[in-house]
Structure 1
Amino acid sequence: MATGLALHIGLNRVDPDRYEGWDGALVACENDARDMARIARAAGFESTVLLTPDCTVAGVTAALDQAAARLGPGDILLFSYSGHGGQVADDSGSDAEPDALDETLVLYDRQFLDDEVQRAFRAFADGVRIVALLDCCHSGSGIEVPGGGAAAEGTPRYLPEPRQRQLSDRDRSFYEELRRSLAKEASADGAAPDAVLVSACQDNQVASDGDVNGAFTAALLRVWDDGAFTGGYRDFHRAIQRRLPPTQSPNLYLTGTPAPDFLSQRPFTI
């Protein structure tokens, strides 16, 4: 029988000492993580929930490493993130992404590059199904390739642009060295993992916070309807997309070559 492990991350703020005085206060991200864990547990997943101060780079990578050590071919990882999304300048020349920006998950102690997400996912055995649900800004391809900026209703879940520039300048040498290391690892590891991302918005958009849940998570919960939903991942994505405005259009993004029967499975199927 297949094993399902889930990691749910929710940050209502970050450490201002690590973000030049900015605490990034949000309302609904911890609720999002708890609600995603509730769905996952009902579907039979063993879930780990990390909330605000525990959502450090070390904490998140340790939880993903533990999951990678336990899962084998035919098993499934569910990874959900709710918090701020950010971007940092990518000065890696010919290897840089088209917009010269790396997308990030804004963890409690520092920004976590999309390339670092890929490294964590590459640690899983071939044949492990990986599903990522990202409720943050600029998340359209946040498990691999990043993007731009637009407007949404409500409080946006993004690191403000002036702060992004300040942090990007401050940490430029750190991220340059990190990218070089990640690029070497990626070339040695070969193909990208087979992963399915359903994100809160496109790369050039922002995602809205809410009083109870983020706009994306709230739409997901309505579509899921306590398990009444019966379609596959493409149907799931389209149904969520219909419940959100054009300014926040969820994306379906694939890495590797997920099998057709994986994509046609009902979400949260172990």
Structure 2
Amino acid sequence: MPTVKPAKPTAPKALSLHLGLNTVSAAAYAGWEGPLAACEFDARDMADIARSRGMKPTVLLTKQATRKAVLGAMRGAAKALKAGDFFFLSFSGHGGQVPDTNRDEPDRKDETWCLYDGQLIDDELYLELSRFASGVRVLVLSDSCHSGSVTRDGPLPPPPPGQRYKLMPEAVGRRVYSAHQAFYDGLQAEVAKASKNTIVDPDAALAQVAHTVAAAQATSVVGSFKPAVLLISGCQDNQTSMDGEHNGAFTEKLLRVWGSGSFKGNYLSFHQRIRAALPPSQSPNLFTLGPAAEFVKQAPFSV
């Protein structure tokens, strides 16, 4: 009988999605446009890294980064990827807040990404991430502010020249929610209904993780997530991420540490190097969801 050669294993598939918003729609944000300078550059630079590592990137800039487009791209990737595959998601823009109606947040506020025509609530984001198949690795880099406490500490000091805070002002957030309360309350209700398993909010889970090196322990705190998810955000919850002229502060330091691919190390050391390069006023966060213990040991952006 002829010898049957074993089938060659197929290479992992890798997709990425990069969001950069220099402004938002005044119609969706109670007249506020939130101008920033470097977010589109950030998205393009993250896409360049993705291409260099063999990924197929999608880039959505400012007006293109609508709720429909972003959710559609994420859901398309979730359907296309299977065990062993890789998804890289980056966001650069304003962070915001809406009141927490399903009481999963200790501060009773849900953090958001400010997309062009409306906010993407963190509950929505983590529900979408949970839809990826078991064995898929998901990397999320967020260069924005997701701060509950910073808005309660009084006026922020003036930012350095040429920089802006990536934070929707609290007064704007109140007006936006008041104008669109039914929409945002409805989104949270839809997420609660769609979630078969309770998804503990990652911000609450992170509070139980004592040290960055122990970030993988968040998996056991958060609960059941099929994919391995690793998120590095631009700052702690009580801090602000800074915009710049050519890159956000977090993205600028990430690119410098990455060194066009010359960085040698894993995700934990990558995070530590980026964190060490930033001032104490902006300390990037790292946490994991799902079975990510091996994921964090891999070289960054490895397909």
Into which bin does the TM-score normalised by the smaller protein fall? over 0.9
TM-score (norm 2): 0.82
Partner of residue 210, structure 2: none
Contact 1:3–1:76 (Cα < 8 Å) also in 2: yes
Contact 2:20–2:42 (Cα < 8 Å) also in 1: yes
- AA paired with 2:144? C
Residues 145-156 of structure 1 mapped to structure 2, 5 A cutoff:
147-149=148-150, 153=160, 154-156=163-165
**What is the CA-CA distance between 1:185 and the residue it aligns to?**
1.5
Are 2:172 and 1:163 equivalent residues in the alignment? yes
Partner of residue 96, structure 1: 104
Q: C-alpha deviations, 1:200-225, integer Å up to 9, x for none? A: 00112110000100000000000000
Are 2:86 and 1:72 equivalent residues in the alignment? no
Q: C-alpha deviations, 1:26-59, integer Å up to 9, x for none? A: 0000000000000110011111111111100000
In 2, Cα distance between the equivalents of 1:103 and 1:211?
A: 25
Q: C-alpha deviations, 1:131-179, integer Å up to 9, x for none? A: 000000127xxxxxxx421756431011111101111222223222221
Aligned mate of 2:57, from 15, 23, 47: 47
Q: C-alpha deviations, 1:220-264, integer Å up to 9, x for none? A: 000000001011111010000011111111000111231x32111
Partner of residue 142, structure 1: none
Q: Which structure has the greater CA radius of gyration?
A: 2
**What is the CA-CA distance between 1:188 and the residue it aligns to?**
4.8
Residues 98-117 of structure 1 mapped to structure 2, 5 A cutoff:
98-117=106-125
TM-score (norm 1): 0.92
Hey, which bits of structure 1, 4+ residues long, moved more than 4 A? 150-153
Aligned length: 260
Partner of residue 266, structure 1: 299
Aligned mate of 1:137, from 119, 122, 145: 145
Contact 1:133–1:197 (Cα < 8 Å) also in 2: yes
**What is the CA-CA distance between 1:62 and the residue it aligns to?**
0.8
Partner of residue 40, structure 2: 30
Structure 1 vs Structure 2: percent identity of aligned residues? 46
Contact 1:73–1:127 (Cα < 8 Å) also in 2: yes
**What is the CA-CA distance between 1:129 and the residue it aligns to?**
0.4
* TM-align CA RMSD: 1.5
**Structure 2, unpaired ranges of 5+:** 1-10, 200-223
Q: SS in structure 2 opposite 1:187?
A: coil
